[in-house]
Amino acid sequence: MSDWLISLEGTPQGHQVALSLALMAAVLHAIFGALQKGRHDPWLSRGAIDASYCLMAAPFALFVVPWPEPHMWPIFAGAFVIHLAYKLLQAQAYTKGAYTVVYPVVRGTGPLFTVIGAYLIFGESFTLIQWTGLGVLLMGIFGLAVYNLIFLEADRATLPAALAFALATGLFVALYTTFDAYGIRATADPFTFLAWFFMIDGVAMPILAALRYRTMTYKPALPPLALRGVIGGLVAFLSFGSIMVATRLDQVGEAAVLRETSTVFAAVIGWVFLKETVGPRRIALMALIALGAVIVEVGG
């Protein structure tokens, strides 16, 4: 399968596969965010998820895929630090703010800086039509955040801190998207990067979650938390793995923008499962996000 993926790089078929992977990543990333923001403490949820995908990835990294080339170890170290900072910031944002306010700010900040980073590192450039589409998408995302902010009734006291953490998280989304794209292109076999990335990336948060669990007065039951971790681990494989492969097959900036349609799916999840309100204005803003993504794709 590795040879087949590599053969698609830079081809029209590869572009279509990357498009499908980016959209799949959008749906799954919204589910992933909801799993972390659900009824469990976000730190515990993230720890359970990371522990699950670390254990799932270990056999593949150690016994199935080719071992990484020597130059990959500094790349894995960089990815570990960047993703850990991202997860710490995201957990803080979810702890202090409502999912439907925090998530759009995180996802809206990411694509703009990813497009800039892809230009500086990979020499990618957007057409005028694609920049227009990106602008439309960002208007929808940040409009959704502002709307949620205006009508939010809970979490008012911690809202400024939540928005600050959300903005910082978005910057790290751009950083890890660009860095991971560099990493998965730096190795001969993309599945080597994926397997070792997930194994290494899943080490830190379970330790932090365990320390937090020990200090909690009311400790949640572990079996439901473990189940959430297993489900989240599988979703993480498909979500993050899909976007990483998409950035190897095609332009990093386009894949990053298409992934941000996850905001639409996040709003639907917030409405259906987290019982958060969705009205006609929010539906219109979500349509604006989808329209922006379509413009970016058509203008490429």
Give the DSSP per-residue string, 195-241.
HHHHHHHTSHHHHHHHHHHHH-SSPPPHHHHHHHHHHHHHHHHHHHH
3-class DSSP state for residue 11? coil
**Cα(19)–Cα(112) distance, rounded to whole angstroms?**
18
**Cα(291)–Cα(275) distance, rounded to whole angstroms?**
26
For residues 117-128, b (16+ Cβ closer than 10 Å) or e, as one string? bbeeebebebee
Residue 77 tokens read as 């170290």
- Of the CA atoms within 13 Å of residue 125, those in its CB half-sphere come to 3
Cβ contact 29:239 at 8 Å: yes
Cβ contact 219:89 at 8 Å: no
pLDDT of residue 230: 93
The DSSP code for 39 is S
pLDDT of residue 192: 95
What are the average pLDDT values for consecutive 10-residue runs of the chain, which has 300 residues?
80 86 84 68 87 96 95 96 92 77 75 79 83 84 75 67 85 89 92 96 94 89 90 90 88 78 73 68 75 75
Residue 274 tokens read as 């987290």
pLDDT of residue 277: 62
The DSSP string of 60-111 is HHHHTSPPPPTTHHHHHHHHHHHHHHHHHHHHHHHHHS-HHHHHHHHHHHHH
**Cα(300)–Cα(264) distance, rounded to whole angstroms?**
22
Cβ contact 154:98 at 8 Å: yes
The DSSP code for 27 is H
Give pTM, 2 decimals. Answer: 0.81
Cβ contact 96:158 at 8 Å: yes
Amino acid at 300: G
pLDDT of residue 41: 78
Selection from 63, 36, 80, 35 nearest residue 198 by Cα = 80
| C-alpha dihedral, 191 to 197 to 203 to 205, nearest 10° | -120
Number of domains in the chain: 1
Give rounded-to-5 percent helix, strand, coil for the chain.
80, 0, 20
Please give the residue range of the domain that contains residue 32: 2-298
pLDDT of residue 36: 62
